[in-house]
Amino acid sequence: MMLTTRITAIVLTCLYLAFPALAAEDAMNILPKDSPVPGGVAVVTLGTLDSPPPKAYYQGKRVITLKPAEHWVAVVGLPLSAKPGPASLKVTRGTASTSVSFEIKAKDYPAQYLTIKNKRQVNPNAEDMKRIQAEKQRSDDARNRFTETELDTLRLQPPAYGRRSSAFGLRRFFNKQPRNPHAGLDIAAPAGTPILSPADGTVVETGHYFFNGNVVFIDHGQGLVTMYCHMQAIDVNKGDKVSTRQPIGKIGATGRVTGPHLHWGVTLNGNSVDPELLLSSSPFSKP
């Protein structure tokens, strides 16, 4: 009887020790890579699952909260303008409010110099600027959405396959003039190459923009929004529900470009982050 009890205790202990490893493995398939740098993603533990469901806010904006394993976590998009050093989240549970701290680390991005033949795409005229400002408002409205949705995973499928022509975060110079950093990932491929939705979602904006050409925005829930630019063709409409790997359009060379490619942007809580942190597999070699 004592031997049976001891064996049972050993088995239970082994199972207990295995659960954290399994939970950690599951979390890797759900959460993006933790990279708390400007333009990166911070994965912040909020508390155990027996605590009430939390709501978390960074710089006044709601962020994603998930329960991938034995803890609640917040997934925070950090802007490229973020300063290295201490940062914090406001976390609410019911009427209670607390602060959870995390650290932003430094990161330097390389520079990229591009030559644009269309001078108006570098120095727009007054009429162009009116259009650009109106399009920026539409883009901001799409990127700053927060839809209450229960997410199973934040790992995204590649939206297209091709060559990485520009990485995220590059300090850009057009015709030797400094411009905003590159807030997406460029995948170069022949015009007409299919673009696929990386996850389930809802199309919340489409149009032809001055800089971005033909563009689509998809809301995946809880502040996760993806953007697709320079498309040759758009095959979805605003309001459409899309599923993972559903075709949404084709790669093209519309807007401010030097050749056909997909500019793919990923936004978390209104901030552009490195899409490669959320990818489930590489888009640079077909499976």
**In terms of residue numbers, what domain contains 222?**
111-277
pLDDT of amino acid 98? 94
pLDDT tens digit sequence for 231-252: 999 999 999 999 999 999 999 9
- ∠ CA 85-88-91, nearest 5°, is 170
In DSSP terms, which residues pair with 178 in a beta bridge? Answer: 173
Q: Is residue 13 part of a domain?
A: no
Same domain, 92 and 128: no
Same domain, 201 and 234: yes
Same domain, 175 and 136: yes
Question: Strand 111-114 vs strand 171-174: parallel, antiparallel, or unpaired?
Answer: parallel
| Contact criterion met (CB below 8 Å) for 112 and 172 | yes
pLDDT tens digit sequence for 119-170: 777 788 899 899 999 999 999 999 999 999 989 899 999 999 999 999 998 8
Give 27's pLDDT tier (boundaries 50, 70, 90): low
Q: Is residue 286 part of a domain?
A: no
What is the CATH classification number for the domain harbouring 188? 2.70.70.10
Same domain, 125 and 236: yes
What total number of domains does the chain contain? Answer: 2
Residue 160: how many CB atoms within 10 A of its CB?
A: 20
CA atoms within 13 A on the CB side of 79: 13
pLDDT of amino acid 14? 35
Q: Model-level pTM? A: 0.86
In DSSP terms, which residues pair with 102 in a beta bridge? Answer: 87
Q: Is residue 49 part of a domain?
A: yes
Same domain, 35 and 50: yes
Q: Is residue 138 part of a domain?
A: yes
Same domain, 144 and 254: yes
**Cα–Cα dist 287/283, whole Å:** 9
pLDDT of 112 strictly over 90: no
| Contact criterion met (CB below 8 Å) for 222 and 201 | no
